[in-house]
Amino acid sequence: MVQVRVNEGILEGEKVANDFGKPYFSFKGIPFAQPPIGNLRFKAPVPPKPWDGVRSAKEHGPNCYQNDIVFGQGLVGSEDCLYLNVYTPDIKPNKPLPVMVWIHGGAFISGSGNDDFYGPEFLLRQDVIVVTINYRLEVLGFLCLNTEEVPGNAGMKDQVQALRWVKKNISNFGGDPENVTIFGESAGGASVSYHLISPMSKGLFKRAIPQSGACLGGWSYGHRPFERALALARSLGFYSEDPKELYEFFKNQPIESLVSATPTIALHETARVGKDIYFNIVDELEFGNNERFFYGHVYDQVLKGIHEGVDVMTGFTTDEGLVSLGFGEVLSKKLEMVMKYPESLVTRPLSNALSADQLIDLGKEIRQFYFKDLAKISDDWESLVNVYSMDLFVYPTIRFVEILAALEKNKIYLYKFSCKSERNVLAHVFGLTKVIGTKQVTSHADDVMYLFNAKAMKTGLDAGSPTFKLIERVTKLWTNFAKNGNPTPDDSLGERWNPYTAENETYFEIGNKLSTGSRPYAEEIQFWKNIFAKYVSQLK
């Protein structure tokens, strides 16, 4: 047992054996805010209350209430869920250790910071402190009524509150509060990207690693959020449009009534096949001097630049779009939609902005670019993967780094992740085994398997295996960046990773071998640039 004093009281954690290295110290289930229940439902988080005596920190806190889309457990968790976990290799190091704060993915719908998926053992080998956090999800974290009581973005403010807690307390665990790197994947990557432009997040971290998620991705920000709230209320039989009455209604609903609804607000949304994201980051209105996580148009905010002095390392996997295929009947329906209604291929922001005629024409243009032979569409899942990869992840990330590089104010590193081994299991978790067959892929979220010891996946691992060497290489790149802002500060990895600039457009291929390249997916990127240039005026 080991005790640490934080601002609110004394925590008792434990020393844990590490199958892949030295033992480490674990502190789980640390409250970083008061439980967001009762009158605090939908509100910004409130700092935690102190406690008397010694608080046990040996078990994870509850997951935030959710419909678990990864492990298929259905409705799980609790509203009392604002807890974080701290893992440190040394509580009293000779020199304060770099800190890496992980923000989990899950489409703003599901997930947690627990070690069933985010075990810290691999990263701790590189002498960094790892912090994983929970934040409110779905309607509980992202309901917006455009009022002072419910302005939106509560889940993002949870993340900010966790970062404030880290800033204040991490030195007690041996960490350096002035050397904090935030990193996350998918919705976590988009979150990291938003923290780079959020006024609330400024000064809380030094470096950022958005993985497979960017704030310019249309799935990360909300469209007409008050209409979304009205749709949710009507689905529950409540028809008032008065914001105060809506707030009282939502505040008093049983939690299971609110989560996993399908509050569509447009006819084209009802035609989408598969899961969708209905509650996400919004443009907050101003009420006096209220703290707003984000406001304005996201593209305009990125054009102004990110926080001064913050280094960024970002990228994507080679087969991102697999996550959006669905499986079995869902995939067949999606391919049928491509044939019958090519506008189903149009990216979400454009679907919300364009006329019916424009959507039909644009859908045909996209279909012609990706699906050359219409007669084979019913079997062409790989072209559909390419569309989804570019639309949801690759194009938003590359546009993000292009804009930042043109501003010449921050050091930017771009990667493409293509490692392949028995740890590439996410396509199978997503139910795509019959689709991909024996084809080796690097799916959305497969990169996470090389950073974290995902205990729930039960993938055997030999510390002397070639796969473990890949893990060592990936964790070294990530932790080198966290330590000094350069993923390859020397020649020990055999290849130098140069920053991305407007002139060189360099990226780093992180595969079973390391290599460098320039202008990834150049033809596709230009295709999407031309589309957005044509319709950009209608997106504002």
Give me the catalytic one of 185, 284, 320, 343: 320
Give me the catalytic one of 26, 186, 191, 418: 186
Distance, in Å, from the CA atom of 399 to the CA atom of 404, rounded to the nearest integer, reads 9
Encoded tokens for 179: 């050397």
Encoded tokens for 352: 């919300």
| Strands (E) located in 386-496 | 412-417
Q: Phi and psi for 405 in degrees, rounded to 5?
A: -65, -40
Burial class of residue 172 in the structure, from the number of CB atoms within 10 Å of its CB (0-12 exposed, 13-18 middle, 19+ buried): middle
Distance, in Å, from the CA atom of 300 to the CA atom of 302, rounded to the nearest integer, reads 6
What letter represents residue 374's amino acid? L
Round to the nearest angstrom and report the end-to-end CA distance of the chain: 56
What letter represents residue 478's amino acid? W
Distance, in Å, from the CA atom of 217 to the CA atom of 199, rounded to the nearest integer, reads 20
Distance, in Å, from the CA atom of 74 to the CA atom of 68, rounded to the nearest integer, reads 5
Instruction: Collect all residues with Cβ–Cβ distance below 8 Å to 285 and sequence separation of at least 6.
Output: 146, 151, 295
Distance, in Å, from the CA atom of 99 to the CA atom of 142, rounded to the nearest integer, reads 27
Distance of CA 501 to the CA centre of its chain: 24
212 is catalytic: no
* Sign of the torsion formed by the C-alpha atoms of 16, 18, 22 and 25: negative
Instruction: Collect all residues with Cβ–Cβ distance below 8 Å to 360 and sequence separation of at least 6.
Output: 342, 343
Helix (H) / strand (E) containing 361: helix 356-370
The residue assigned the tokens 């709230």 is: 229
Encoded tokens for 116: 């069933």
Find the radius of gyration of the CA atoms of the chain.
22
The residue assigned the tokens 């500060």 is: 489
Q: Using an 8 Å Cβ cutoff, are 364 and 486 in contact?
A: no
DSSP-based three-state secondary structure for 510: strand
186 is catalytic: yes
Q: Using an 8 Å Cβ cutoff, are 264 and 348 in contact?
A: no
H helix runs in 376-465, sequence order: 381-389, 395-407, 426-429, 433-436
Distance, in Å, from the CA atom of 306 to the CA atom of 309, rounded to the nearest integer, reads 9
Distance, in Å, from the CA atom of 421 to the CA atom of 431, rounded to the nearest integer, reads 18
Distance of CA 133 to the CA centre of its chain: 12
Residues annotated catalytic, as ranges: 186, 320
